[in-house]
Amino acid sequence: MFSGLDPAMPLFFSSNPGERLSKDDGKFVDVVHTNMFMQGHYSALGHVDFYMNGGMNQPGCKGGASAILEKVDANVIIVSWDLQSKLSYFAAKRFMPTAGKVVAFMIDRLCQRIGMKIKDVHVVGHSLGAHVAGVAGLYTTTGRLPRVTGMDPAMPLIVGDSSYRLDSSDAKFVDVIHTSIYYLGVYKPTGHADFYPNGGGPLQPGCGVEIGVCTHRRSYRYYIESIQNEKAFQAVKCNSWGDFKSNNCSDELAYMGEGVSHEARGKFYLRTATKPPYGLGEIAQADNSSATDAAPTQ
């Protein structure tokens, strides 16, 4: 076994294995990158999830990774860009495309060097990290990513060119969870399937009076719970939150989060509880739940 801690970038990216740490240097080589890119290990790749933080060091990365690993035999790679993202939101936004391209580069490298299959890759990101995930999908050259998930993609300053914001062109299937559409998150549908728990905002139930941070972070809390219980968040396809509240929706259902059908298309609405477990299960039961009273009105 040989471990490398935070290898220097110029050597790490050398194409010559003799000039940098590589898997040829030991029977098992694991590498921990703390200042730029990834924590993870090179072995038995089968199913890979990348977790991006959204400009801050967030517990959602660790929680999501733990939830995945408790359930499946997977490799979870947490992408950290703390050096850049901790400076400011503006600095993080400027660096965001680069972070996405580095993730794409890494995905291609893992596929080419150690046989990772592109069909097994799922890239997940929160806030600005959702756009990093989108850029990663767009710039991966080995093949099209099967799935990218955006958890409350950041809205501020994210406009214009779709190359640098999450949209449905970034993977075969893009699902998005919107939780703070009037604060930090994007309101418009941005994926193939867009989920608006409790209407997507203004505040998620149980968050109280705040400026949107709790509400913004609910997106990954819901997602983590969906890993533990894929049927926790059943949603119904609907044109608007108003139509949902009036029971004026289609009869098309989909589960929000980990267990979503890749065939799901459109906008989906649901309610949640005010505290964990947030999922109300089947939509019919949710409509009869007392938790519905806690949902915000618009």
Q: Which stretches of the chain bind Ca ion, using CB under 5 A?
A: 134, 162, 167, 170
| Active-site entry in 126, 216, 219, 226 | 216
Known active-site residue 126: no
CB count, 10 Å around CB of 229? 15
Output 40 or 150, the one with its CB closest to Ca ion: 150
Judged by CB, which is closer to Ca ion: 49, or 170? 170
| Closest CB to Ca ion among residues 167, 194 | 167
The smaller minimum CB distance to Ca ion, of residues 148 and 270, is found at 148
Nearer to Ca ion, 136 or 224 (CB): 136
Is the CB of 61 or the CB of 135 nearer to Ca ion?
Answer: 135
Catalytic residue among 80, 122, 126, 152: 152
CB 91, min distance to Ca ion, A: 21
> Which one, of 109, 111, 103, lies nearest residue 139 by Cα?
103
Q: What DSSP string describes the chain?
A: -EEEES--HHHHT-S-GGGS--GGGSSSEEEE--SSSEEEE-SS-S-EEEEE--SS--HHHHHHHHHHHHHSS-EEEEE--HHHHTT-HHHHHHHHHHHHHHHHHHHHHHHHHH---GGGEEEEEETHHHHHHHHHHHH--SS--SEEEEES-B-TT--S-GGGS--GGGSSEEEEE-S-TTTTB--S--SSEEEEEGGG-SS-TT--S-SSHHHHHHHHHHHHHHHH-TTSBEEEE-S-HHHHHTT---S-EEE-STT--TT--EEEEE---SSSS---BSHHHHHTSGGGGGS---
Tell the smallest beta-carbon distance from residue 74 to Ca ion (Å). 25
Selecting among 22, 85, 127, 180, the annotated active-site residue is 127
Work out how close the CB of 25 gets to Ca ion at its nearest, in angstroms, rounded to a whole number: 37
175 part of the active site = no
State in angstroms the smallest separation of the CB of 280 from Ca ion.
32
Is 152 annotated in the active site? yes
Q: Which amino acid would we find at residue 4?
A: G
Q: Which residues are catalytic?
A: 127, 152, 216
